[in-house]
Amino acid sequence: MRWAIPLAIVGCVAVAACESDPARAIKIADNKPAGEGRTSASPATPAPAGASSPEAAVAPAGPPAAAAAAQPDAKLRAAAAAAAPPGDGKWRPQGCPPPSERAGGPGEFKAAGPCAFEHHAVVSCETAPDDFFVTMSRPGARGSLVMAYINVEKYKGPGTYDGAQMFVGVQDKTSIFRWSSDEVTVTVGPDQKFAQLNETKLPSEPMLIDCSGPMLNYQCGGRKQDSPIENTEEIVSGTLMCGKIGTSDK
């Protein structure tokens, strides 16, 4: 795809140069096939990941606060481990759909596609000098992790922005499935209380394989072609409500 993503927490890798703006390193990765070289995490914040060269898949990183919030409670993950998706014959990552939330919340976010779910609980939101980050993370089925991530670049305060980066991802052991775009329109509400999306299609990325580390700061061995995720898409819409707003100098 197009992210150098959203997918910067560690130093620059030997095969990729540091970017002057860490938030820019959180780009959604190119949807083009990457080579087989193992990659290491880039020092920038978010994001989605893709290939930095034909030989290696770039490892993204997220803002410090967002990365910490992205790790759900161990008990919740354990409770989700036994859940299994319905057998309706349609392909989906085995972590989808995620178990229902234990409690409601003020949000009204919906995702439709191979990983269909609704999300109502508050999410992690963080401002940086010229970025606004939104991170939703929750346990998926069978011990997986489901995440939605938004990076509004050139952020100057509440308002509507075009060209934001977004991905929806599912990390299942050593595999990561993602749908992403860097052409998303996002409205940040007054006092940065929410991020709102009209119906938006996120095309699929090639499947990431041999991965380790959290989804905002991972290392993968490459991308697998001819996987079931190809030619699928996630359709997202609605409102993600922010909890306490964090700040970052990254």
pLDDT digits (tens, 9 = 90+) for 73-111: 665 555 444 444 455 568 999 999 999 998 889 999 999
Assigned domain for 175 exists: yes
Assigned domain for 22 exists: no
The dihedral region occupied by 89, where left means phi > 0, alpha psi between -120 and 50, and beta the remainder, is left
Per DSSP, 81 falls in state H
Query: Taking the model in full, what pTM does it have?
Result: 0.69
The amino acid at 135: T
Please write the tens of the pLDDT for every residue from 183-222.
999 999 999 999 999 999 999 999 999 999 999 999 999 9
Across the range 53-57, mean pLDDT stands at: 38
Assigned domain for 7 exists: no
For residue 54, give every residue at least 6 positions away whose Cβ sits within 8 Å of its Cβ, in sequence order, or none: 34, 35
Assigned domain for 190 exists: yes
Q: State the number of CA atoms in the 13 A half-sphere of 89 facing the CB.
A: 0
Bond from prior residue into 97 cis (ω within 30 degrees of 0):
yes
pLDDT for the residue 224: 95
- In whole angstroms, what is the distance from residue 85 CA to residue 98 CA? 8
pLDDT for the residue 75: 57
Assigned domain for 48 exists: no
Host domain of residue 237: 64-209+224-247
Q: In a 3-state reduction of DSSP, which class is residue 143?
A: helix
